[in-house]
Amino acid sequence: MRSDIRFRYPVGLPALRALAVLLLLTGLAALAGCSTSDEREAEKADGLARVQQAGEISFAMSGGYPPFNFYNDKNELAGFDVDVCREVAKRLGVDFKPVTTEWSGIIEGLRSGAYDGILGSMAATAERAEVVDFTVPYYYSGAQVLVRKDAPYKSVDELKGKVVGLVTGTTFENDAKSLGAGDIRLYKDDTQTLTELDNGVVDAVITDRVVGATAAGSGKFAIRPLGTPLRSENIAVALRKDDDTLRDKLDAILTAMHDDGTLAAISRKWLGTDITGK
């Protein structure tokens, strides 16, 4: 028995040593794999690095919100928001990739990674801030009620029990409820809400005050604002919660665009007035 043991042990030793080396190499490879994975996760979390490496930044908007973002007669995406996007991308040193999508699902699209941000006249609210981050505001606006020119209403108080139209997923739904609307009808964009108002399908529409003023002065719709804006809103860029580096960079860019008058100039170009200051 002893001679048999002494014979087998030396024969198995090289195999054991080889196994030990193999296990060591496997462990090192696993550690290297973890390191690479960690690096990838770090790069993914660094929003600014992601955008710079891609060479482009994608901003989403509805595309049906004139004069902020809309398709013109040449079927080109244009407007205040679009020009702001282009300038932000330029200052980032990347290309601007526009994305148009329905407003009702625009936040979920952002959170799923379908685009880098929302720069489409989104109001920064406490409710939205629970799921996305916001930059500093790039303009300031408010909620405005619109009615047909021939409507008898003299005050928003008279809209209790009436039919009010607005865009799905906007903060204006709360305004309609506060006014006691009897029926709140939701639409894809303000091209639809204003058309429905003009045609008498709804009694009133609630939208952005500048959108309302532009539509009323365009000659396309026989509508008018009813009363003063219901409240004010801070309009900012929405980003994913983990995109801190991108948010910090956009904050710096937008602040610079406020300070050097670029945002004011874009506002006057599209709106005829400056809405970028409080």
Whole-number pLDDT of residue 50: 97
Which of helix, strand or coil describes residue 223? strand
**Integer CA distances (angstroms), 16 to 4, 13, 167, in order:** 18, 5, 71
Q: Going residue by residue through the chain (278 aa), what tens digit of pLDDT does each one get? A: 434 434 343 445 555 455 554 555 455 444 445 444 554 444 455 899 999 999 999 999 999 999 999 999 999 999 999 999 999 999 999 999 999 999 999 999 999 999 999 999 999 999 999 999 999 999 999 999 999 999 999 999 999 999 999 999 999 999 999 999 999 999 999 999 999 999 999 999 999 998 998 898 888 999 999 999 999 999 999 999 999 999 999 999 999 999 999 999 999 999 988 999 87
Whole-number pLDDT of residue 2: 38
- Give the C-alpha separation, 139 to 203, whole Å: 29
Whole-number pLDDT of residue 98: 98
Whole-number pLDDT of residue 15: 52
Whole-number pLDDT of residue 196: 98
- Give the C-alpha separation, 102 to 121, whole Å: 13
Contacts of 206 (CB under 8 A, 6+ apart): 143, 144, 145, 146, 164, 165, 166, 172, 175, 176, 230
- Give the C-alpha separation, 200 to 213, whole Å: 19
